[in-house]
Amino acid sequence: MLDDLYHLRERARAALSRGDLDDAANSLVSAAAQTHVAEHDYLSVLRPLAEVLSRRNDHRSALTVVWYMAFSENDGWKRAMSMLPGVASVDRARTLAATGDMAGAAREMENAGLVAAAAIYREKADDWRGARALWSRLAQVVSGGADAYNGALVQFNLARCAKKCGDTRQAREANVSAVRLLEEAADYFESVGQRERAFDCFQVLVQIGRESGMFEDVLEGFVNCIRILREDHLKYFALQYFEDALQAAKERKELSAAATLAREAADYARVLGMNSASAHYVVVQAELWRDVAKQHLERGAPPEIAENALLAAILAFGEVGHYARVGGLYNDLALMDLEEQRKKHYARAAKRYDGVRDEAIDTAPLPSHLRQDNHFPDVWHVDLIEWEQQGSAAEACADVLLDKRWPDLIRRKAMLARLTAFAVESRPEDASNPATAARVRLADQLAQLQLYAVLSPLEKLFTRAERPVKVAVLAAMQQLFFKRSFVTVRTGLRDSDPAVVEQASKAVESLYFQHAFDPLSRIVRESPQPSVRASALRALARVDTVEAAEFLLGILEHGAPADRVAALDGLKRSRGARFIELARSAILTTAPDVQQALRDVLRSRGIAA
């Protein structure tokens, strides 16, 4: 690889000596494509590349290369600043932001007509009044309908800034608008099968409730997040969200809501067979009902309300065998200001528990090794930036290139993709020369980043009419393991071009990951094409979850003959353990033909049936 690098660098030097800037640039870009070399070797290519691009008056490309080098070279950002007069406002803004001048970046973004980006830079500069003015302006043009989600994010940002400026009335009005638009957007996303987008809506609703102090919004957001996670069979995420919701309710002293959440978490954990976690939530529920009773008594509420809470606590403690606590609560009830008949009844009940001890039970919250990172990004900024960039690969790649949190390899690939994007996006449309090859290359380069941020540019590329571009985008989707990838893939499955459908089917078979169960099973249920269903079934066979195993067993029992063959083929190739466990338990209770299929799967894994 280093030989190729040195050869291309020498070829570029020779081209420069004869004044052939195009050949020199092409050779150096080819050398820069050797992204796995050491940093000092890589910089030895980028320095002459930046110089050649500047001499060709390709200032945006030259600045892109300098951006990468600026993180490694002492005077890198000084050089970048010297190049600003020759580039677009958006590039000036990014450079100023990278050097810490957020106010200057905001002005340049506003000059570029990118109001959301300008407002975000105003926020970073602590110019909340300036940011509020920009969000207010954007709110006039982004409202409901197809833009309901983005309109909600704009309103939320406006509310945040109004709160910072001390304008509580505007903050309240903007929050109300944001909630209405989020609910509208969530309904739409769920109706078209994009539950992950509805999930984003409900997460923002949680944040709105936290910012505004409206616990009803927090609770609604959490309840719907948990619902979607349960429907998507993401059980550990669902339990984590139960815990987050519990914590939020406790912090707001909404103890009745917390107790109800604990009860639902206990029931859900029990269904999953997580008995120690279920017992943990039952105990939490009981303690919360006890606290609810205390809270009502302190507030001077009628004693009957506290009585009901204590009875709920008794039922919960009794469920896990904490009988000493049950006896103690009956004693508490006997001392309350209730009807004499009921007090005597509770006193008699308390005596039955004299000398009884709590049973030893295994209670534990969700184990740490099952917890997953559910950090919620600030989508009220991120998603608006994506919307405003309108699928520009150049801008999406700039975001990655200038984010030092990404490793050098990813940033190098983002730089190269941005250079290609300029060739595609900066030139006028020409029917006789549609730059098809460059678009195909761009799709491949975006796929190599393997980041969520490239989905929007790929989705825009897919709207092109050229078959090679559509096929290249679908090939890229095979490497992007996000539920959103299925939106483009499912569109490809409905294409009138058989070559596009074939590539979309290949993408379906490649997109097997835990979160893919819902879109894959939806394809099996809805696609009229046996070959497409077969691809989805083979992918499901590699999704090692209980839900996928049960779905495939259902196909073997009740599916069409072609679907049964595809499911059986996929299961024989799979290495997951979930279906094997299910097959062993079900083999004696299924029909003879299904028993034979299950034996075939077990034998293919070397397991005696």
One domain, residues 420 and 465: yes
Using the predicted structure, report yes or no on whether residue 272 has a pLDDT greater than 90. Answer: no
CATH code of 584's domain: 1.25.10
**Predicted confidence band at 424 (pLDDT cuts at 50, 70, 90)?**
very high
Nearest to 67 by CA among 95, 109, 41: 95
One domain, residues 570 and 496: no
Residues 479-505, mean pLDDT to the nearest whole number: 95
Give the percent of the chain with pLDDT over 90.
Answer: 77
Structure confidence by residue, pLDDT tens digits, 205-244: 999 999 888 999 999 999 999 999 988 878 888 999 999 9
Nearest to 118 by CA among 87, 82, 94: 94
Using the predicted structure, report yes or no on whether residue 2 has a pLDDT greater than 90. Answer: no
Q: Contact at 8 Å (CB) between 225 and 242?
A: no
Structure confidence by residue, pLDDT tens digits, 464-488: 999 999 999 999 999 999 999 999 9
For residue 206, tell me if it sits in a domain.
Answer: no
Using the predicted structure, report yes or no on whether residue 361 has a pLDDT greater than 80. Answer: yes
Using the predicted structure, report yes or no on whether residue 364 has a pLDDT greater than 80. Answer: no
Say if residue 271 is exposed, middle or buried (CB neighbours under 10 Å; 0-12, 13-18, 19+): exposed
Using the predicted structure, report yes or no on whether residue 576 has a pLDDT greater than 70. Answer: yes
pLDDT at 249 (0 to 100): 95
Residue 238 structure tokens? 């669902």
Boundaries of domain holding 572: 518-609
Of 87, 112, 141, the domain-final residue: 87
For residue 414, tell me if it sits in a domain.
Answer: yes
AA letter at 419:
L
- Strand intervals (E) in 208-251: none
pLDDT at 417 (0 to 100): 98
One domain, residues 542 and 489: no
Query: Residue for token digits 């810490």?
Result: 100
For residue 409, tell me if it sits in a domain.
Answer: yes
Using the predicted structure, report yes or no on whether residue 75 has a pLDDT greater than 60. Answer: yes
Residues 335-353, mean pLDDT to the nearest whole number: 92
Give the number of other CB atoms < 10 A from CB of residue 92.
24
Per the prediction, the chain carries an average pLDDT of 92
One domain, residues 299 and 354: yes
Of the two residues 514 and 214, the one the predictor is more confident about is: 214
pLDDT at 315 (0 to 100): 95
pLDDT at 144 (0 to 100): 64
Give the percent of the chain with pLDDT over 70.
Answer: 96
Q: Contact at 8 Å (CB) between 418 and 401?
A: yes
CATH code of 73's domain: 1.25.40
For residue 203, tell me if it sits in a domain.
Answer: no
For residue 228, tell me if it sits in a domain.
Answer: no
pLDDT at 6 (0 to 100): 85
One domain, residues 562 and 599: yes
Assign residue 114 a region (left: φ > 0; alpha: ψ between -120 and 50; beta: otherwise).
Answer: beta
pTM given for the model: 0.86
One domain, residues 419 and 468: yes
**Predicted confidence band at 110 (pLDDT cuts at 50, 70, 90)?**
very high
Residues 62-90, mean pLDDT to the nearest whole number: 93
Of 52, 87, 122, the domain-final residue: 87
One domain, residues 71 and 6: yes
For residue 54, tell me if it sits in a domain.
Answer: yes
pLDDT at 73 (0 to 100): 83
Give the number of other CB atoms < 10 A from CB of residue 403.
13
For residue 96, tell me if it sits in a domain.
Answer: no
One domain, residues 506 and 533: no
One domain, residues 340 and 306: yes
pLDDT at 76 (0 to 100): 84
Report how far residue 66's alpha carbon sits from residue 60's, in angstroms, rounded to the nearest whole number: 10
Of 492, 511, 530, the domain-final residue: 511
One domain, residues 405 and 359: no
Report how far residue 545's alpha carbon sits from residue 552's, in angstroms, rounded to the nearest whole number: 11
Cα Rg of the chain, angstroms: 30
Structure confidence by residue, pLDDT tens digits, 153-209: 999 999 999 999 999 999 999 999 999 999 999 999 988 878 888 999 999 999 999
pLDDT at 431 (0 to 100): 53
Q: What SS3 string covers 100-122?
A: CCHHHHHHHHHHCCCHHHHHHHH
Residues 551-575, mean pLDDT to the nearest whole number: 94
Of the two residues 146 and 450, the one the predictor is more confident about is: 450
As for how many domains the chain has, the answer is 4
pLDDT at 350 (0 to 100): 92
For residue 197, tell me if it sits in a domain.
Answer: no
pLDDT at 375 (0 to 100): 59
One domain, residues 362 and 414: no
In eight-state DSSP terms, residue 355 is T
One domain, residues 397 and 500: yes
pLDDT at 233 (0 to 100): 77
